[in-house]
């Protein structure tokens, strides 16, 4: 490697570094990614929320200090892929209203210098790069999407497959795989909260009525 030439050096192979490297590589530049961690071993435990979260099996063995100098162990994972190796894989867009000024009980979060429309083309590119599955147009609060996801929503049967023979996903704890939420109850409080932050008002039916549970797979 010592004699090799690289045009761009990216430090860290997490989503940020890897995305940058992928984009720069498209231009034909030679890119070198430096990663401090090793490959995460491929084993049962990194699919197990008890090992990942409960036992913090893969968490960096470091001590950080908060504002009051109290030590804590950061939830960081130093490995190829960074935190994406253990994350929830839920890649969501912010709502258009999230970019504006938001008034909280404790103060005001100022507006971003960018709008949802500025970010929208980049959301599309990220969603395609990361193989996000889903369907736009189902959330009445979501912003406009200029392109569909490349892949449809993951079916319950597909996300359940890794648990075959191990009981239902619910028996195992919560899963770390993307899935559609099971909605058996109305969500007026949360939706009202979103509306209070400046989002578009929901249609009367969708805000106050239970959403049909078409995902009942148990
Ligand atoms: C348990 C968990 C669940 C999460 N779930 C979600 C989710 O569902 N959806 C979502 O959007 N986000 C989720 N996140 C957050 C998401 O994982 C992070 O926002 C994302 O990984 C940040 O990417 P990053 O590239 O900035 O940093 P990181 O992922 O932290 O990557 C940084 C990389 O740089 C390396 N590095 C650091 N310093 C150096 C150095 N000096 N030299 C070389 N390499 C170095 C590290 O080893 C690491 O690999 C979750 C995070 C955790 C911990």
Residues with CB under 6 A from ligand 1: 11-17, 34-37, 75-76, 78-79, 82-84, 86-91
Highest mean pLDDT among 13-17, 87-91, 210-214: 13-17
What's this model's pTM, rounded to 2 decimal places?
A: 0.75
| pLDDT confidence of residue 154 | 84
Highest mean pLDDT among 45-49, 169-173, 188-192: 45-49
Q: Whose CA is nearest to atom 37 of ligand 1?
A: 12
Which atom of ligand 1 has the smallest separation from the CA of 37?
A: 47
Q: How far, in Å, from the CA of 91 to the mean position of ligand 1?
A: 13
Q: How far, in Å, from the CA of 13 to the mean position of ligand 1?
A: 8
Residue-wise pLDDT for 153-166, tens only, equals 988 777 767 666 55
* pLDDT tier, 1 (very low <50, low <70, confident <90, very high otherwise): low
Q: Helix 116-129 crosses helix 15-25 at what angle (to 10 degrees)?
A: 90
Q: How far, in Å, from the CA of 89 to the mean position of ligand 1?
A: 12
Going from the C-alpha of 143 to that of each of 32, 103, 177, the distances in angstroms are 36, 20, 24
Residue-wise pLDDT for 82-125, tens only, equals 999 998 889 999 999 999 999 999 999 999 999 999 999 999 99
Closest CA to 15 of 117, 90, 118, 74: 90
* pLDDT tier, 206 (very low <50, low <70, confident <90, very high otherwise): very low
Residue whose tokens read 């990942």? 52
């Amino acid at each position: 490697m010592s004699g090799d030439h690289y045009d761009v050096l990216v430090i860290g192979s997490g989503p940020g570094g890897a995305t940058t490297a992928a984009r720069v590589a498209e231009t034909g530049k030679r890119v070198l990614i430096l990663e401090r961690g090793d490959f995460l071993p491929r084993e049962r435990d990194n699919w197990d929320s008890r090992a990942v979260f409960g036992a913090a099996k893969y968490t960096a063995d470091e001590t950080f200090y908060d504002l009051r100098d109290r030590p804590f162990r950061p939830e960081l994972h130093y490995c190829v892929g960074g935190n994406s190796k253990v994350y929830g894989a839920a890649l969501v867009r912010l709502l258009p209203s999230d970019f504006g000024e938001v008034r909280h009980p404790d103060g005001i979060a100022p507006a971003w210098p960018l709008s949802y429309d500025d970010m929208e083309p980049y959301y599309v590119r990220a969603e395609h790069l990361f193989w996000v599955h889903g369907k736009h147009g189902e959330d009445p609060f979501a912003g406009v999407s200029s392109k569909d996801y490349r892949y449809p929503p993951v079916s319950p049967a597909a996300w359940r497959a890794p648990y075959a023979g191990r009981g239902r996903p619910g028996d195992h704890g919560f899963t770390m795989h993307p899935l559609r939420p099971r909605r058996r109850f109305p969500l007026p409080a949360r939706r009202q909260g979103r509306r209070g932050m400046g989002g578009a008002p929901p249609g009367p039916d969708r805000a106050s009525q239970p959403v049909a549970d078409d995902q009942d797979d148990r």
